[in-house]
């Protein structure tokens, strides 16, 4: 039987049969998605349960702007592939699930796959009685140094915010400053909004002025380097918000201030500009949180056009591809700096941390300060001390989930159901966020 609109044979329906080489032991009994927003950010967590009472794994599948699409992908398409399978065969499960959609990759499918993949790694750690980083080769360091986010309406406010973090033991600080009259990325409260939700979920968006931004940022870092001295490492995120020539000009202007890295100078669609940037400026470059397909980041790594890989681990499919990416980067002198904002669940932050502990080419980890309600929902959150993230040494990823508490924090009301509202130039043109 063939489909007249397709070149592909339609296979008759038949029950799933696990591969003959699967080991004896527990089997996947159920796969469930938990949706919760304890601090107003839409989180998606996958729970893979086995036929052994109390034995389960948790994985992060958070895609804040499309959470319901991810949940549907897990429940309707990945769950049937998992039922009855051994949780031990992580690589085979990943490969089978990745190609099962035929048109593969993309953030929705990859996040769904990540939720399953991380849950299986969590399960394997519990079965082995050791933390996941031990399964990845063991420790390379005691904890993962973090960078935090300082911001303000002007350079003085950014300095004050940075000093507060430095007093807490942080030595890597990303600094963002408001552009007057603009909805500026990374500057919470710059528009004096009283909304309780994160800045990137606001519907109110004012005109974005790239030229003003490129003028203001070098002045910010001139002030910060003079005021804070040379002991603190400074970072900045362009967030793909300016045209490539302006990004190159900004990178050159920031060279004297010795940034630890400059993040996302270009959008993934503009990777062809990286050779020119490398020729023009020596500032270290971090890139990758928007990548979902290896075809996007492999050329930049092998040609040594970036210094830090910043992928969102769930956006590329979980721990299984991320550990391979880290090993690939090691051969080219590229360090890891996994994406770790608030729209990564504590389970995802734990996955980042276990990679950080096991990777010899670790660079830095993005910090998120977990709120009290998030800690209530996710007992075992990694701890932040002395400017570093510490694992709790519990088998698996070390994070649990209180489902009763999670149910008390449903997704908040939002006209776009979590989608990023448009950012526009002064003439009304939609700009990348």
| The two structure tokens encoding residue 324 | 């391979």
Per-position DSSP letters for 159-195, written without gaps between them: HHHHHHHHHTT--EEEEEE--TTS--TT-TTTT----
Beta bridge partners of 174: 149, 235
Whole-Å CA distances, 379 to 177, 226, 374, 398: 34, 41, 8, 9
**404: which 2 tokens?**
């009763």
Contact 205, 416 (CB under 8 A): no
The residue annotated as part of the active site, out of 172, 223, 236, 239, is 239
DSSP per position, 72-126: HHIIIIIHHHHTT--TT-HHHHHHHHHHTTSS--SHHHHHHHHHHHHHHHHHHHH
Torsion region of 299: left, alpha or beta (phi above 0 gives left; psi -120 to 50 gives alpha): alpha
Q: Are 425 and 206 in contact (CB under 8 A)?
A: no
Alpha-carbon span 432 to 51, nearest angstrom: 46
Question: Cβ distance 310 to 286 under 8 Å?
Answer: yes
- Which of 25, 43, 7 minimizes the C-alpha distance to 381? 43
239 is catalytic: yes
Answer whether 312's CB lies under 8 Å from 343's CB: no
* Crossing angle of helices 107-128 and 90-99, rounded to 10°: 170
Task: Name beta bridge partners: 46.
Answer: 33, 59
Residue among 126, 108, 135, 113 nearest 59 (CA): 113
| Tokens found for residue 283 | 């500032």
Active site residue 165: no
Tokens describing residue 56: 């389960």
Q: In which region does residue 389 sit, left (phi positive, over 0), alpha (psi from -120 to 50) or beta (all else)?
A: beta
From the list 147, 165, 185, 213, the catalytic residue is 185
Q: Which residues are marked as active site?
A: 185, 239
């Amino acid at each position: 039987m063939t489909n007249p609109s397709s070149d592909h044979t339609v296979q008759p329906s038949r029950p799933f049969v696990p591969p003959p080489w699967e080991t004896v032991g527990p089997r996947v009994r159920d796969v469930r998605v938990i949706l919760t927003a304890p601090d107003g950010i839409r989180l998606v967590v996958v729970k893979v349960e086995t036929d052994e009472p109390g034995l389960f794994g948790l994985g992060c599948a958070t895609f804040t702007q499309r959470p319901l699409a991810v949940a549907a992908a897990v429940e309707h398409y990945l769950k049937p592939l998992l039922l009855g399978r051994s949780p031990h065969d992580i690589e085979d499960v990943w490969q089978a699930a990745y190609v099962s959609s035929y048109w593969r990759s993309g953030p929705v499918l990859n996040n769904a796959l990540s939720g399953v993949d991380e849950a299986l790694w969590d399960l394997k750690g519990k079965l082995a009685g050791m933390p996941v980083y031990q399964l990845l080769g063991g420790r390379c360091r005691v904890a993962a140094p973090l960078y935090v986010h300082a911001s303000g309406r002007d350079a003085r406010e950014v300095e004050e915010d940075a000093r507060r973090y430095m007093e807490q033991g942080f030595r890597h600080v990303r600094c963002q400053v408001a552009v007057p009259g603009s909805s500026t990325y990374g500057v919470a409260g710059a528009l004096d909004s009283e909304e309780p939700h994160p800045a990137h979920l606001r519907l109110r968006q004012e005109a974005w002025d790239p030229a003003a931004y490129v003028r203001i940022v070098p002045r910010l870092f001139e002030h910060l380097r003079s005021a804070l001295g040379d002991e603190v490492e400074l970072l900045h995120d362009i967030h793909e918000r300016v045209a490539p020539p302006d990004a190159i000009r900004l990178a050159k202007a920031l060279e004297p201030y010795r940034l630890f890295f400059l993040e996302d100078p270009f959008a993934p669609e503009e990777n062809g500009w990286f050779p020119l940037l490398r020729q023009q400026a020596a500032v270290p470059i971090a890139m990758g949180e928007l990548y979902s397909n290896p075809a996007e980041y492999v050329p930049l790594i092998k040609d040594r056009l970036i210094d830090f890989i910043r992928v969102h681990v769930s956006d590329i499919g979980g721990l299984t591809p991320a550990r391979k990416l880290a090993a690939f980067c090691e051969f080219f002198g590229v360090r890891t700096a996994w994406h770790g904002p608030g729209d990564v669940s504590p389970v995802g932050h734990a996955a980042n941390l276990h990679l950080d502990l096991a990777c010899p080419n670790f660079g830095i980890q993005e910090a998120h300060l977990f709120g009290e309600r998030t800690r209530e929902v996710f007992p075992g959150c990694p701890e932040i001390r002395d400017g570093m993230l510490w694992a709790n040494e519990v088998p698996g990823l070390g994070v649990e989930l209180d489902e009763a508490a999670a149910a008390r924090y449903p997704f908040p009301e939002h006209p776009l159901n979590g989608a990023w509202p448009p950012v526009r130039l002064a003439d009304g043109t939609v700009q990348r966020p």
